[in-house]
Amino acid sequence: MSEILFMKGNEALAEAAIRAGLDAYFGYPITPQSEILEYLAVQMPKRGGVVLQAESEVASINMIYGAAGAGARVMTTTSSPGMSLMQEGISYIASAQLPCLLANVVRGGPGLGTIQPSQGDYFQATKGGGHGDYHMIVLAPSTVQEMADFVYLGFDLADKYRTPAMILADGALGQGMEKVVFPEYDPAKMKQPKPWATTGKANDRERNVITSLWLQPEKMEELNQLLQDKYRTISEQEVLWEEYQTEDAEVLFTAFGLAARIARKTIQLAREQGIKAGLFRPKTVWPFPYKRLNELARQVDMILDVELNAGQMVEDVRLGVEGVTPVFFHGRMGGMIPTPEEVLEKMEANLQTVRSNGQSKEVAK
């Protein structure tokens, strides 16, 4: 039985990375995630591995690019403005098909914004972010426990598909303390064979070249096709979500990460008032669980999407719902967090609109 610890989300993420066999971490301080670099600066020298404070996020991500190419298990973490700086490097890493783990402990934006929690980087994380046609696998934790669990999962998926994976958290998950248990991690998974790595051209193989440059458009399209095939496979096989009280739900909340915790509380309040509400929470926001959401959408009278932004995941929700049920949105921006009471009020108003328009699935029957 593993020990139950009480930790900040940032520290749990860092500790999980070490337990998953992190070879090297490169990062630059930025609030609200500097504890990750600080924790690793203490632990990595004692437990083995490289930790280096880079001169910028631009340098961090390119150190990751180099070290990932050299076959190491690598991670960098940052918060929103820093993640903007990393986009160029991520595009190269995706194109060169290298595994690595990133984390964005999102803060309010745009610009320098605020250091308070936000989900304003959903588009950047899930739709590419940098230049060109690529995706990252994006995992959205909702608890400190998942801050740790998704590190294991992120490294595994990154290796499996030779692609960057990202943990999309927020300032509250990074700073908040909760209990966490670290499951055993299989040491065999730490050192996957990487015959493509630039480790020095051994005499028994051809030279390894890691590049994202293909000047002939036919070649570049070929690479793009390969990437798209990979993304299709990931979309089919790696979609993860959680449902809460959806069995009898007439009203469905969609939310990821921290917002999903607010939605859970709102559901309790709604059920106390006799409104059957449930939650659909994507754990992978890329790939997004469109299919299951569509099934649920057919069952409920309305969907209220809750986010800490101006409405970003709601676009994927609407894509998944395909218009079969009304989709509403409630969000707060710039580091503000909605209360369950305000979300409930919004939901009740929306529900009244739906029912007075005769759009209820019950009425339709």
Partner 1 sequence: MTDECTITEGMSAMDLVYDRPESLLDVRMHYCPGCGHSTVHKLLMEVVDEMEINSEIIGVAPVGCSVLAYEYMNIDMHQAAHGRATALATGIKRVLPDKYVFTYQGDGDLAAIGTAETIHSANRGENFLIIFINNGIYGMTGGQMAPTTPEGGKTATSPYGRDIGDMGAPIDIAAMIAPLPGTFYITRQTVHNAKGVRKTKKALTNALKYQQLNKGLCFVEIVTNCPSNWKLTPYEANQWMVDNMFDNYPLGDIKVPAKEDLS
Decide whether 65 or 329 has the Cβ nearer to partner 1: 65
Q: Which of 209, 181, 183 is nearest to 196 (CA)?
A: 209
Rounded least distance, CB 56 to partner 1, Å? 6
Nearest 5°: the CA angle 113, 117, 123 is 75
Decide whether 50 or 337 has the Cβ nearer to partner 1: 50
Decide whether 26 or 329 has the Cβ nearer to partner 1: 26
Rounded least distance, CB 27 to partner 1, Å? 12
Rounded least distance, CB 195 to partner 1, Å? 12
Please answer whether residues 337 and 172 qualify as being in contact, where contact means their C-beta atoms are separated by less than 8 angstroms: yes
Please answer whether residues 277 and 252 qualify as being in contact, where contact means their C-beta atoms are separated by less than 8 angstroms: yes
Decide whether 209 or 319 has the Cβ nearer to partner 1: 209
Contact residues for partner 1, defined by CB under 8 A: 23-24, 26, 50, 52, 54-56, 58-60, 62-72, 74, 88-89, 92, 96, 198-203, 207-213
Rounded least distance, CB 198 to partner 1, Å? 4
CB burial of residue 342 (10 Å; 0-12, 13-18, 19+) = middle
Q: Which of 97, 99, 94 is nearest to 74 (CA)?
A: 99
Decide whether 66 or 334 has the Cβ nearer to partner 1: 66
Rounded least distance, CB 155 to partner 1, Å? 15
Rounded least distance, CB 184 to partner 1, Å? 25
CA distances from 253 to 14, 24, 28, 41, 302 (A): 31, 39, 36, 40, 9
Nearest 5°: the CA angle 143, 246, 169 is 20
Separation of alpha carbons 336 and 267, rounded Å? 20
| Structure-block tokens of residue 131 | 């230049």
Decide whether 218 or 362 has the Cβ nearer to partner 1: 218
Rounded least distance, CB 152 to partner 1, Å? 21
Q: Which of 179, 331, 186 is nearest to 253 (CA)?
A: 331
Between β-strands 302-307 and 251-254, what pairing exists: parallel, antiparallel or unpaired? Answer: parallel
Decide whether 179 or 201 has the Cβ nearer to partner 1: 201
List Cβ neighbours of 73 (8 Å cut-off, separation of 6 or more): 20, 21, 22, 23, 24, 99, 155, 159, 190, 191
